[in-house]
């Protein structure tokens, strides 16, 4: 006689009329494949945990986002935000789609050059730029976004020894009705320091002022704030033209559009609350079109969107290491991936789907990572079907920031694969090894041996 | 291991504790184990019964039984 399928026994208390702090069940279907490639086969071939990127999703998301802006405004240029995900294969998908590079350090700048991005299509942001990095950027005709007065004077000094005039913009911070104001980067609009910087740039005669940059925040849930930012930048552009006789060529609105990940503490899922990319496009483009620029003087609109373009394309596959019960009776499930590689679990209630069939029975549980550290909590409370040791799960929307902010801490960082549009898998970053980790270490001679 | 005498259980997995007013839902295996417990079977008899009927290794069942017992205790359904 064939034996019946086994599912471990569970009972669940029924609460009538009370809110369940674990939220409602969200997973009704297992996620067994990504772009037609089975999760099981991916883990068998590349190990667990494993980051998977969908090239098809990256391209589709990019094209949809670009379309949202280009159908509303004639001059639009996207620049891929390297810090969001600078694995070269990922960057090159964006570059193939026509994206420039937006970098915030010399390291990222060199990565972009190494990927083959022409220097004049690299935007160099950030508060730290060494003399050497600035000279390279100036010689490459890159767009240098000045962050503070010290940097402004640093460039003026460098110009004395260079024949080439740097193309520069200033980063402007401002009150857009979203608090706290992101005023640590750039020059403030309201107190006049932005205009002061502009007058110094123009008066120096050593730089070409080409644009304005702002980045009003991250994971912005209001499209109106961008319209306010555009109006303030446009006002600066008008003053620049009328008082400094300099026409601004572009407005760089930075990034900050949210993805569909749900922020911790949110009452509703992000899919119910976050504005669609069309709303941001409408607010931004309408504000520029209404700012009074002549048709032939409309500035180029640059966007440095990162998170919203890549989050959906990233998946983290993992496996259950163990189940246990905590002192208060709660179920705890230990996964083979933790906060060391899923940095965004500090911010998001990541959607997690089992990768194999399950019944309708569920459990409220805490999801822990494998680190021997108390902070290693992937989900504080989540309602999932019954998981057993060895079962696989898929964590959704992990494409942004995890593959740059991940840490080699206790465990090493795993393989990253990309599934191309034909369903072929490519290893785009190898899992780390002990040899790789230790290659930069040096052992002083007197510490090279011991007897225990 | 004994369930409290006044605990009501159904084959469909509904559990009711009239002393506290608490109700619980059990998945099919938990419901079956509860019915066997109510019938007075010993723990080893229940495990043997389950091993014969279901596709599960003894080590897995042992682990899950202990966890099940912890759930019943936590839910205040066991006679101490």
Give the C-alpha separation, A55 to A92, whole Å.
11
Cβ-defined contact of B26 to A5 (cutoff 8 Å): no
What pLDDT shows up at residue A26?
A: 58
Cβ-defined contact of B23 to A13 (cutoff 8 Å): yes
Cβ-defined contact of B29 to A329 (cutoff 8 Å): no
Which tens digits make up the pLDDT trace of A79-129? Answer: 999 999 999 999 999 999 999 999 999 999 999 999 999 999 999 999 999
CB A12 within 8 A of CB B74: no
Most distant CA pair in chain A, distance: 91
Number of Cβ within a 10 Å radius of residue A13: 15
Mutate to test the interface with A, among B32, B71, B76 (most CBs of A within 10 A): B71
What pLDDT shows up at residue A21?
A: 56
B18 in contact with A, Cβ within 8 Å:
no
B22 in contact with A, Cβ within 8 Å:
yes
Contacts of A13 in chain B (CB under 8 A): 22-24, 75
Q: Using a CB cutoff of 8 Å and minimum separation of 24, what contacts does A105-108 make?
A: A106/A130, A106/A132, A106/A133, A106/A136, A108/A82, A108/A83
Cβ-defined contact of B54 to A323 (cutoff 8 Å): no
Mean per-residue pLDDT, A23-42: 86
The pTM of the full predicted model, rounded to 2 decimals, is 0.91
Half-sphere exposure of A64 (CA within 13 A, CB side): 13
**Least reliable range by pLDDT among A175-179, A446-450, B49-53:** A175-179
Task: Give the start-to-end residue ranges of the domains of chain A.
Answer: 33-52+313-433, 86-305
Helix, strand, coil percentages (3-state) for chain B, rounded to 5, are 50, 20, 35
Cβ-defined contact of B26 to A6 (cutoff 8 Å): no
For tokens 């940095």, name the residue. A343
What pLDDT shows up at residue A17?
A: 60
Pairing of strands A50-54, B22-26: unpaired
Q: In degrees to the nearest 10, what's the CA dihedral of A263, A265, A271, A277? A: -50
Indicate whether B59 belongs to any domain. yes
Predicted ipTM of the assembly: 0.95
Residue A18 confidence class, pLDDT cut points 50, 70, 90: low
Cβ-defined contact of B29 to A8 (cutoff 8 Å): yes
What pLDDT shows up at residue A221?
A: 85
Q: In a 3-state reduction of DSSP, which class is residue A426?
A: strand
Cβ-defined contact of A11 to B22 (cutoff 8 Å): no
Give the C-alpha separation, A125 to A169, whole Å.
10
Beta-carbon contacts of residue A438 (< 8 Å; ≥ 6 apart):
none
Q: Convert A432-442 to b/e letters by CB count within 10 Å (16 or more is b).
A: eeeeeeeeeee
Mean per-residue pLDDT, A167-188: 93
For tokens 């002061």, name the residue. A196
CB A197 within 8 A of CB A152: yes
Residue A222 confidence class, pLDDT cut points 50, 70, 90: confident
Give the C-alpha separation, A249 to A378, whole Å.
45
Contacts of B26 in chain A (CB under 8 A): 9-12
What pLDDT shows up at residue A180?
A: 85
Contacts of A5 in chain B (CB under 8 A): 54-55
Pick A57 or A12 by higher pLDDT.
Answer: A57
Which tens digits make up the pLDDT trace of B37-64? Answer: 989 899 999 999 999 999 999 999 999 9
Q: Which two tokens stand for residue A400?
A: 């942004």
Pairing of strands A187-188, B14-17: unpaired
CB A58 within 8 A of CB A23: no
Mutate to test the interface with A, among B9, B22, B27, B60 (most CBs of A within 10 A): B27
Pairing of strands A362-368, A11-13: unpaired
What does each C-alpha distance from A282 to A17, A98, A290 come to in angstroms?
A: 41, 22, 12
Beta-carbon contacts of residue A189 (< 8 Å; ≥ 6 apart):
A172, A173, A174, A175, A232, A236
**Closest chain B C-alpha to A328 CA, distance in angstroms:** 8
Q: Which two tokens stand for residue A171?
A: 């980063």
Pick A9 or A359 by higher pLDDT.
Answer: A9
Q: Which two tokens stand for residue A325?
A: 């019960």
B3 in contact with A, Cβ within 8 Å:
no
Which tens digits make up the pLDDT trace of B9-41? Answer: 888 899 999 988 899 999 999 999 999 998 989
Cβ-defined contact of A359 to B64 (cutoff 8 Å): no
What pLDDT shows up at residue A272?
A: 81
B10 in contact with A, Cβ within 8 Å:
no
Cβ-defined contact of B27 to A14 (cutoff 8 Å): no
CB A357 within 8 A of CB A30: yes
Residue A13 confidence class, pLDDT cut points 50, 70, 90: confident
Pairing of strands A314-325, A143-146: unpaired
Question: Which of A6, A11, A13 is opposite residue B54, by nearest beta carbon?
Answer: A6
H/E element, A37? strand A37-38
Residue A179 confidence class, pLDDT cut points 50, 70, 90: confident
Mean per-residue pLDDT, A49-74: 98
What does each C-alpha distance from A236 to A39, A246, A247 come to in angstroms?
A: 52, 11, 11
Cβ-defined contact of A325 to B70 (cutoff 8 Å): yes
Mutate to test the interface with B, among A1, A6, A383 (most CBs of B within 10 A): A6
Question: Which of B15, B56, B67 is opposite residue A6, by nearest beta carbon?
Answer: B56
Whether the predicted pLDDT of A16 surpasses 90: no
Residue A369 confidence class, pLDDT cut points 50, 70, 90: very high
Contacts of A7 in chain B (CB under 8 A): 27-29
Mean per-residue pLDDT, A217-234: 92
Helices assigned H by DSSP within A147-276: 149-159, 193-204, 224-244, 270-273
Q: What is the CA radius of gyration of chain A?
A: 25
Strand partners, A168: A144, A209
Contacts of B69 in chain A (CB under 8 A): none
B66 in contact with A, Cβ within 8 Å:
no
Which tens digits make up the pLDDT trace of A235-281? Answer: 999 999 999 999 999 999 999 998 888 888 887 888 788 899 999 99
Contacts of B55 in chain A (CB under 8 A): 3-6
Most distant CA pair in chain B, distance: 37
Number of Cβ within a 10 Å radius of residue A300: 16
Which tens digits make up the pLDDT trace of A395-439? Answer: 999 999 999 999 999 999 999 999 999 999 999 999 999 999 999
What does each C-alpha distance from A133 to A129, A137, A142, A186, A205 come to in angstroms?
A: 6, 6, 11, 19, 22
Indicate whether B3 belongs to any domain. no
What pLDDT shows up at residue B47?
A: 95
Domain A86-305 has CATH 3.50.50.60: no
Domains in chain B: how many in total? 1
Give the C-alpha separation, A259 to A262, whole Å.
8
Question: Which of B53, B55, B68 is opposite residue A9, by nearest beta carbon?
Answer: B68
Q: Which two tokens stand for residue A263?
A: 């922020």
Q: What mean pLDDT value characterizes chain A?
A: 94
* B51 CB burial (10 A radius; 0-12, 13-18, 19+): middle
B54 in contact with A, Cβ within 8 Å:
yes
Contacts of B70 in chain A (CB under 8 A): 325, 329
Cβ-defined contact of B27 to A386 (cutoff 8 Å): yes
The nearest alpha carbon in chain B to A328 belongs to B74
Nearest to A304 by CA among A123, A133, A179: A123
Right CATH for A33-52+313-433 from 2.40.37.10, 3.40.50.2000, 3.40.50.720, 3.40.50.300: 2.40.37.10
Domain containing residue B51: 8-74
């Amino acid at each position: 006689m064939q034996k019946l399928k086994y599912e471990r026994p569970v009972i669940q208390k029924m609460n009538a009329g009370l809110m369940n702090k674990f939220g409602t069940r969200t997973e009704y279907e297992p996620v067994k494949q990504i772009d037609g490639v089975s999760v099981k086969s991916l883990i068998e071939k590349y190990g667990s945990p494993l980051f998977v990127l969908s090239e098809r999703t990256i391209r589709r998301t990019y094209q949809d986002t670009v379309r949202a802006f280009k159908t509303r405004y004639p001059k639009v240029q996207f620049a891929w935000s390297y810090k969001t995900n600078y694995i070269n294969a990922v960057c090159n998908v964006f570059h193939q789609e026509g994206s420039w590079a937006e970098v915030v350090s010399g390291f990222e700048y060199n990565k972009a050059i190494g990927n083959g991005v022409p220097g004049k299509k690299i935007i160099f942001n950030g508060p730290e730029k060494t003399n050497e990095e600035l000279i390279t950027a100036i010689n490459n005709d890159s767009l240098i976004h000045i962050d503070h007065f010290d940097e402004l004077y640093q460039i003026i000094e460098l110009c004395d020894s260079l024949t080439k005039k740097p193309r520069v913009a200033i980063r402007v911070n401002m009150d857009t009705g979203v608090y706290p104001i992101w005023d640590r980067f750039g020059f403030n609009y309201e107190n006049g320091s932005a205009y002061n910087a502009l007058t110094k740039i123009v008066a120096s005669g050593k730089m070409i002022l080409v644009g304005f940059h702002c980045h009003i925040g991250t994971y912005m849930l209001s499209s109106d704030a961008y319209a306010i930012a555009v109006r303030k930048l446009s006002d600066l552009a008008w003053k620049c033209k009328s008082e400094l006789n300099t026409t601004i060529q572009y407005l760089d609105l930075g990034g900050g559009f949210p993805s569909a990940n749900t922020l911790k503490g949110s009452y509703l899922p992000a899919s119910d609350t976050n504005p669609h990319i069309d709303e941001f496009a409408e607010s931004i483009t309408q504000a520029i079109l209404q700012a009074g620029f002549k048709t032939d003087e409309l500035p180029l609109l640059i966007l440095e969107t990162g998170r919203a373009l890549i989050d959906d394309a990233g998946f983290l596959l993992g496996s259950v290491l163990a189940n246990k019960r905590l002192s208060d009776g709660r179920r705890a499930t230990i996964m083979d991936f933790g906060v060391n590689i899923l940095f965004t679990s500090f911010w998001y209630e990541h959607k997690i789907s089992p990768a194999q069939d399950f019944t309708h029975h569920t459990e409220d549980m805490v999801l822990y990572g494998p680190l021997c550290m108390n902070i290693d909590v992937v989900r504080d409370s989540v309602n999932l079907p019954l998981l057993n040791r060895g079962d696989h799960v898929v964590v959704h929307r992990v494409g942004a920031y995890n593959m740059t902010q991940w840490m080699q801490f206790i465990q090493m960082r795993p393989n990253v694969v990309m599934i191309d549009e034909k369903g072929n898998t490519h290893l785009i970053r190898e899992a780390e090894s002990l040899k790789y980790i230790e290659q930069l270490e040096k052992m002083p001679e007197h510490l090279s041996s011991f007897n225990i | 291991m004994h369930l409290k005498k006044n605990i009501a259980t159904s084959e469909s997995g509904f559990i009711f504790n009239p002393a506290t007013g608490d109700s619980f839902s059990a998945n099919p295996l938990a419901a079956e184990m509860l019915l066997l417990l109510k019938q007075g079977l010993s723990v080893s008899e229940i495990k043997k019964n389950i091993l014969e009927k279901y596709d599960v290794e003894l080590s897995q069942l042992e682990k899950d039984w202990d966890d099940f017992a912890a759930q019943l205790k936590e839910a205040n359904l066991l006679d101490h």
